[in-house]
């Protein structure tokens, strides 16, 4: 029988071979080699959320090279579908001002020796518009960074990230307190169409909260600034089309995608690893089986991409948990040794007390109580699961702060509603009612569960019920225990 | 007739308050009523689902004309669901329950989601947690088989927590014997899309692919030589077809899911003796064979006879599958036909193939 060999450029590409009845005949990750009856087959390759297809006639051995598949990303990277050269150039050139030693020293001194900030990390935030329909003409689009803000990990507002003046590039005072260097560089461009704007600044390493606005209000999510590294955050917005058509109508400003990269210094938009990191992000968001050994090679040893380490570790964990409706088994499996190697490497960059590392370690987390939520929603799910055995790990205040969750997979994000305290109170009431209803239902269904609501049930039955509630209501044990 | 089958259809097209300050109707959809009608037609077709009309519980925006009462809302759907549950509990035990939903939706996690209701507003996101009801039917085990078709988005948006199911759970010891198939228009946390399809009407891409599939496009020949549509063949067909019903802008959109999702997934035979599905399709050819006589072959490379091209076009009537057109001078091009295409462009494909294929030891 002839052999079909398919090889893809990207490490995160999933490959499928489909027969005439549309049934899957073979699948692979990045490469596939399969002997098949002579005939016609369709080769599908999926990367990010885009795919490439080719129908081939197989008579003799055949090699197929799958080209780089363009996918849409908030980061204006080479070989992605939603970018302009101006956006790419701005992303590459974005850099914070050099540290003025005198200013920095004076500023650090005024902060007091006990809390002297190092400003050894940096952040580039870039928001940009993208109008995918070209027949409607340029639209007047405001500053895409409008409403964006930076807060401490605990949520105390530090500064606005929106433009502060006119000009392609200018420096201005941050007035954000000691954690942020006193001067930052703002930049903007393409004002007539698909406008972009952003800011680059130096900051004390740690966990921060990024606030973003879209047509539905404000959302927040954690970001991390590591010492000696630069965190790049990209937010992609689209206007609504209006007037109907094939693209849905919607709020005036739609947050389409968020991309986060952490690099040593500047970001190279044509760096394959950066693009691979975004492909891995989509793979995690869509829970695809893309954790190839080649992908994970990039996070072995002394690697240079902390976000890829997080994505890779979670992709591996997915392989451990995932059930599939597909007719052919996926070609990659969970490797415990590899997972722990990736975890240790990633932990050496983020630190053991980082919530995303605690999330990957689960109940073996080497930290007592988390102060901040994780960056990734898969991490939050892991932490909830771990809280079943370690109730102190996820305190009620973390759940309360993030109670109005929104989905910007794979990131963990939550809404800041207009009447926040009232909305959170309603969420608490909803949860309390739901848990008590479930307990009453369980007591009716299972006589042995009597006393669940009175703290009088058999401890084993209660524990089993609480674990079920953690999954069902997406709340940590500390909160469920308060209700029951 | 499938006397022991039942169905629940919910389709919400109008969302007068969903757009907040935007004009009323700014968040309306175009496809749900057309999709629900198409699915209803298939359900009642003797060659389709063959479900008695009295066993179909249907609530759509068509029941609530614009300008009148806003619906379907929670109360309307509870009434319909209660009636369905009462019918399900009657003897004899029912064989299969179909659930079809279409509208604006949300996802909670993978293969868990629901519909926003017609009276949803920016501040009150009324919703029906569809998959919670689906799992209620599985746990209660009043049917042997339960099939869910869910054509709605799977992103969460602003919804913090879905509204819990309004029934007490009925968990039976043998409940897990209920076979189930869940088919979703979008992977979590992606969006589903709609557009104008070949019939000139607006449809959801998922629902239109489902319509074609159930009309026979997803049929395969089983070991007995019968044409059947199974859960496996349906899944494979939907994956192959749904993205072809999207525009380029939709396919490239980072939030749009170009693939459906599935779960739970048991092997079921959905249709026995499925009708033959054939559709005409125009094939565009490159200049060297624009007016040539070509040989058509099927996926097994069996010769299906000559076809004559004229002016760079040839019209073929095909069943879904993979085909090859070839010419004596060595030119050949293979293509896929799902039934969703009206034009297949081999002129463009010819150029792309030259860049990627190479015969060799492999």
Tens-digit pLDDT profile for residues B105-119 = 999 888 999 999 999
Print the domain residue range for B337: 279-356
pLDDT(B351) > 80: no
Pull the structure tokens for residue B126: 């009324």
On chain A, the residues whose CB falls within 8 A of the CB of B277 are none
Does A258 share its domain with A383?
Answer: no
- Reading phi first (left if > 0) and then psi (alpha if -120 to 50, else beta), residue A133 is in beta
Is the torsion defined by CA of B57, B60, B64, B65 positive or negative?
negative
Inside any domain, residue A149: yes
Same domain for A102 and A21?
no
Mean pLDDT of A304-330: 80
**Chains A & B: contacts with CB separation below 8 Å:** 195
Answer whether B301 sits within 8 Å of A38, measured CB to CB.
Answer: yes
Number of compact structural domains in chain B: 2
Q: What is the pLDDT of residue B361?
A: 36
pLDDT score, position B23: 62
Q: How far is B316 from chain A (nearest CA, A)?
A: 17
B254/A257 Cβ within 8 A:
yes
- B81-88 long-range contacts (CB < 8 A, ≥24 apart) are B81/B8, B81/B57, B81/B133, B81/B166, B81/B167, B83/B57, B84/B6, B84/B8, B84/B57, B85/B142, B85/B167, B87/B6, B87/B55, B87/B57, B88/B6, B88/B137, B88/B142, B88/B143
Q: Which residues of A touch B331 (CB under 8 A)?
A: none
- Sequence-distant (≥ 6) Cβ neighbours of residue B244 within 8 angstroms: B338, B340, B341
The answer on B116 and B33 residing in a single domain is: yes
Per the CB < 8 Å rule, is B362 touching A236? no
Among A76-80, A453-457, B170-174, the range scoring the smallest mean pLDDT is B170-174
Q: What is the pLDDT of residues B278-313, one digit of tens each?
A: 999 999 999 999 999 999 999 999 999 999 999 999
User: Distance (Å, rounded) from C-alpha B263 to C-alpha B109?
Assistant: 12
Residues A93 and A34 in one domain: no
pLDDT of residue A108: 52
pLDDT digit string, tens, across residues B204-234: 999 999 999 999 999 999 999 999 999 999 9
Q: What is the largest CA-CA distance in chain A?
A: 77
Domain boundary among A270, A303, A334: A270
Distance to chain A for B137, nearest Cα, Å:
16
pLDDT number for residue B231: 97
Q: What is the mean pLDDT of residues A440-462?
A: 89
Q: Is residue A60 part of a domain?
A: yes
Other Cβ atoms less than 10 A from the Cβ of A481: the count is 15
Chain B residues with CB-CB distance to A435 below 8 A: none
Q: Which of B239, B254, B272 is the last residue of a domain?
A: B272
Identity of the residue in A3, A23, A407 whose CB atom sits nearest the CB atom of B155: A407
pLDDT at B28: 92
Q: How far apart are CA B220 and CA A476, in angstroms?
A: 47
pLDDT per residue over A218-259, tens digit each? 899 999 999 999 999 999 998 765 433 333 434 467 888 999
Do B226 and B244 have their domain in common?
yes
What is the rounded distance in angstroms from the CA atom of residue A50 to the CA atom of residue A72?
Answer: 8
Q: Is B51 within the bounds of a domain?
A: yes
User: Both A105 and A225 in a single domain?
Assistant: yes
CATH number at residue A54: 2.60.40.10
- Claim to verify: residue A36 and residue A178 sit in the same structural domain: no
Q: Classify residue B204: in a domain, yes or no.
A: yes
For A271, what's the count of Cα atoms within 13 Å in the CB-facing half-sphere? 16
Which residue in A323, A325, A377, A382 has the most chain B C-beta atoms within 10 A of its own C-beta, making it the best mutation to test that interface? A325
Nearest beta carbon to residue A57 from set B233, B256, B324 = B324
Same domain as A400, residue A265: no
Residues B55-82, mean pLDDT to the nearest whole number? 95
Q: Are residues B203 and B345 in the same domain?
A: no
Q: Is the pLDDT of residue B24 over 70?
A: no
CB contacts of B26 in chain A (<8 Å) are 249
**Tokens, residue A200:** 């680059």
Domain membership of residue B361 (yes or no) is no
- Residues B199 and B50 placed together within one structural domain of the fold: yes
| pLDDT over threshold 60, residue B93 | yes
Name the strand (E) or helix (H) holding A169.
strand A169-173
What residues make up the domain containing A37? 3-66
Split at pLDDT 50, 70, 90, the class of B358 is: very low
- Same domain for A104 and A11: no
Which of A133, A216, A409 comes nearest B189 by C-beta? Answer: A409
| Phi/psi of residue B203, nearest 5 degrees | -145, 160
Q: Where is the domain boundary, A229, A253, A270?
A: A270
Q: B342: helix, coil or strand?
A: coil
Closest CB from A56, A63, A285 relative to B360: A63
Residues A246, B338: C-beta atoms closer than 8 Å: no
Structural contact between residues B151 and B194, judged by C-beta atoms closer than 8 angstroms: no
pLDDT in tens, A329-385: 666 678 888 899 999 999 999 999 999 999 999 999 999 999 999 999 999 999 999
Give the nearest partner residue to B240 out of A18, A33, A406, using CB atoms: A18
Confirm whether A403 is domain-assigned: yes
The model's pLDDT over B125-162, given as tens digits with 9 standing for 90+, comes to: 899 999 999 999 998 888 999 999 999 999 876 676 78
| Domain assignment of residue A357, yes or no | no
> A244 and B322 in contact by Cβ < 8 A?
no
- The answer to whether residues B335 and B208 belong to one domain is no
Tally of domains in chain A: 3
CATH number at residue B351: 2.60.40.1120
Q: Say which CATH number the domain at B168 has.
A: 3.40.50.1460
pLDDT, residue A103, reads: 56
Kindly determine whether residue A404 and residue B158, on different chains, have CB atoms separated by under 8 Å: yes
Pick among A55, A239, A252 to test the B interface (most B CBs inside 10 A): A55
**Are A244 and A222 contacting, i.e. CB atoms less than 8 angstroms apart?**
no
- Domain for residue A156, yes or no? yes
Segment (H or E) for B279: strand B279-284
Q: Is residue B79 part of a domain?
A: yes
User: Which alpha helices (H) appear in B10-73, and where do they start and end?
Assistant: 32-44
Percent residues over pLDDT 90 in chain B: 75
**CA-CA-CA-CA torsion sign (A348, A308, A83, A256):** negative
Which tokens sit at A20?
């005439």
Burial class of A341 by CB neighbour count within 10 A (0 to 12, 13 to 18, 19+) = middle
């Amino acid at each position: 029988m002839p052999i079909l060999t398919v090889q893809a450029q990207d490490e995160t590409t999933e490959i499928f071979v489909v027969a005439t009845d549309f049934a899957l005949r073979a699948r692979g990750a990045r490469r596939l080699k399969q002997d098949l009856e002579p005939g016609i087959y369709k080769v599908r390759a999926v990367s990010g959320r885009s795919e490439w297809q080719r129908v081939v006639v197989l008579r003799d051995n055949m090699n197929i090279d799958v080209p780089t598949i363009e996918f849409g990303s908030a980061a204006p990277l080479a070989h992605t579908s939603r970018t302009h050269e101006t956006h790419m150039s701005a992303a590459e050139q974005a850099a914070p001002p050099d540290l003025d030693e005198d200013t920095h020293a004076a500023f650090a001194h005024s902060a007091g020796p006990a809390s002297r900030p190092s400003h050894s990390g940096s952040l580039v935030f870039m928001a940009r518009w993208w109008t995918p329909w070209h027949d409607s003409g340029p639209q007047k689009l405001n500053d895409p960074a409008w409403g964006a803000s930076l807060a401490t990990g605990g949520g105390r507002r530090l500064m606005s990230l929106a433009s502060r003046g006119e000009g392609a590039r200018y420096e201005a005072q941050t007035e954000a307190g000691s954690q942020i260097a006193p001067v930052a560089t703002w930049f903007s461009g393409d004002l007539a169409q698909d406008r972009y704007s952003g800011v680059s600044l130096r900051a004390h390493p740690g966990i921060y909260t990024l606030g973003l606005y879209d047509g539905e209000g404000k959302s927040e999510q954690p970001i991390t600034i590591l010492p000696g590294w630069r965190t790049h955050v990209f937010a992609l917005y689209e206007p609504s089309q209006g007037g109907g058509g094939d693209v849905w109508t919607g709020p005036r400003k739609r947050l389409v995608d968020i991309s986060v990269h952490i690099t040593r210094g500047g970001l190279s938009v044509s760096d394959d690893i950066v693009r691979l990191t975004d492909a891995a992000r989509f793979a995690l968001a869509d829970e695809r089986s893309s954790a190839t050994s080649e992908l994970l090679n990039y996070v072995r040893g002394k690697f240079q991409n902390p976000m890829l380490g997080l994505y890779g570790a979670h992709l591996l964990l997915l392989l451990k948990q995932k059930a599939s409706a597909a007719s052919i088994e996926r070609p990659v499996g969970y490797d415990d040794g590899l997972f722990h190697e990736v975890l240790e490497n990633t932990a050496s960059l983020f630190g053991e007390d980082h919530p995303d590392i605690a999330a990957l370690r689960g109940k073996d987390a080497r930290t007592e109580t988390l102060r901040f939520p994780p960056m990734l929603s898969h991490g939050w799910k892991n932490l909830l699961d771990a809280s079943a055995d370690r109730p102190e790990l996820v305190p009620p205040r973390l759940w309360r702060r993030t109670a109005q969750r929104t989905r910007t997979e794979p990131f963990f994000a939550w809404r800041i509603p207009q009447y926040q305290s009232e909305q959170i109170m309603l969420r608490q009431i909803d949860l309390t009612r739901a848990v008590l209803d479930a307990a009453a239902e369980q007591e009716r269904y299972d006589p042995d569960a009597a006393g669940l609501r009175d703290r009088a049930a058999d401890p084993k039955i209660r524990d089993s019920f609480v674990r079920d509630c953690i999954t069902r209501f997406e709340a940590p044990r500390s909160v469920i225990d308060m209700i029951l | 007739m499938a006397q022991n089958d039942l169905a629940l259809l919910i389709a919400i097209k109008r969302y007068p308050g969903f757009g907040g300050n935007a004009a009323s109707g700014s968040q309306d959809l175009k496809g749900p009523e057309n999709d629900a009608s198409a699915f209803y037609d298939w359900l009642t077709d003797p060659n389709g689902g063959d479900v008695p009309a009295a066993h179909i519980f249907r609530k759509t925006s068509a029941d609530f004309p614009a300008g009148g009462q806003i619906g379907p809302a929670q109360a309307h759907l509870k009434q319909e669901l209660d009636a369905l549950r009462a019918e399900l509990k009657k003897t004899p035990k029912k064989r299969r329950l179909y659930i079809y939903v279409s509208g604006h939706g949300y996802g909670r996690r993978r293969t868990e989601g629901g519909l926003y209701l017609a009276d949803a507003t920016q501040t009150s996101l009324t919703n029906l947690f569809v998959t919670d009801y689906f799992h209620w039917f599985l746990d209660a085990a009043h049917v042997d088989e339960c099939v869910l078709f869910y054509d709605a988005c799977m992103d969460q948006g602003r919804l913090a927590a879905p509204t819990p199911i309004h029934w007490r759970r009925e968990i039976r010891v043998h409940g897990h014997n209920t076979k189930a198939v869940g088919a979703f228009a979008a992977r979590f946390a992606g969006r589903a899309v709609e557009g104008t399809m070949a019939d000139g009407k607006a449809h959801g891409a998922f629902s239109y692919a489902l319509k074609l599939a159930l009309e026979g496009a997803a049929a395969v020949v089983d070991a007995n030589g019968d044409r059947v549509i199974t859960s496996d063949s349906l899944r494979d067909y939907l994956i192959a077809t749904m993205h072809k019903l999207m525009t380029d802008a939709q396919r490239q959109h980072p939030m749009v899911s170009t693939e459906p999702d599935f779960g739970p997934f048991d092997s079921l035979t959905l249709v026995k003796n499925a009708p033959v599905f054939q559709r005409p399709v125009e094939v565009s050819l490159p200049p060297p064979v624009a007016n040539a006589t070509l040989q058509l072959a099927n996926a097994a490379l069996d010769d299906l006879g000559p076809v004559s091209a004229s002016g760079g076009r040839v019209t073929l009537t095909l069943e879904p599958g993979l085909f090859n057109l070839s010419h004596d001078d060595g030119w050949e091009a293979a293509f896929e036909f799902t039934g969703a295409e009206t034009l297949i462009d081999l002129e463009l494909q010819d150029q792309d193939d030259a860049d990627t294929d190479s015969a060799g030891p492999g």
